[in-house]
Amino acid sequence: MIVTVFRTRLNAHIEEEYGPMAMRMSELARAIPGYLSHKGFVAEDGERVTIVEFESEEALQKWKVHPEHMKAKQLGFTKFYSEFKYQVCKVVHARTWESRVGKK
């Protein structure tokens, strides 16, 4: 599994335009073969963190070169973000646990 962590900060007064583009990117990412999940969070200081999971590097590469995604990345660098950092990580070990208490 490949996990990508995006850490960004938006430029001032751009949220209204950024929101629809972000929603479109979420929709497109879900359609990539090998996409597993993504979630976004906004910290109290305004930093945004998005965690994206793909089955493989090949799936991530398909997302990376998707034409609409490439245009959105360019807008991110030129218009939306005041800061942008991402890390691509290979999962070495993973474990999932879920409580059975209260479940039937």
pLDDT band at 103 (very low <50, low <70, confident <90, very high): confident
User: 104 pLDDT exceeds 70?
Assistant: no
| C-beta separation of 40 from 48 below 8 A | yes
Domain containing 57 equals: 2-90
Query: Any alpha helices (H) in 31-76, and if so which ranges?
Result: 57-64, 67-75
Sheet bearing 35-42, strands edge to edge = 35-42, 48-54, 2-10, 81-90
Express each pLDDT in 12-60 by its tens digit.
999 899 999 999 999 999 999 999 999 999 999 999 999 999 999 999 9
Residue 102 lies in a domain: no
CATH code of 23's domain: 3.30.70.100
Task: Compute the distance between CA of residue 11 and CA of residue 83 in angstroms, rounded to an integer.
Answer: 8
When divided into structural domains, the chain yields a total of 1
Question: pTM of the full predicted structure?
Answer: 0.85
Residue 45 lies in a domain: yes
| C-beta separation of 72 from 33 below 8 A | no
Residue 100 lies in a domain: no
Residue 97 lies in a domain: no
Residue 57 lies in a domain: yes
Residue 44 lies in a domain: yes
Residue 10 lies in a domain: yes
Backbone angles phi, psi at 76, to 5 degrees: -60, -45
Residue 95 lies in a domain: no
Look at residue 101 in the predicted model and tell me its pLDDT. Answer: 85
Express each pLDDT in 15-24 by its tens digit.
899 999 999 9
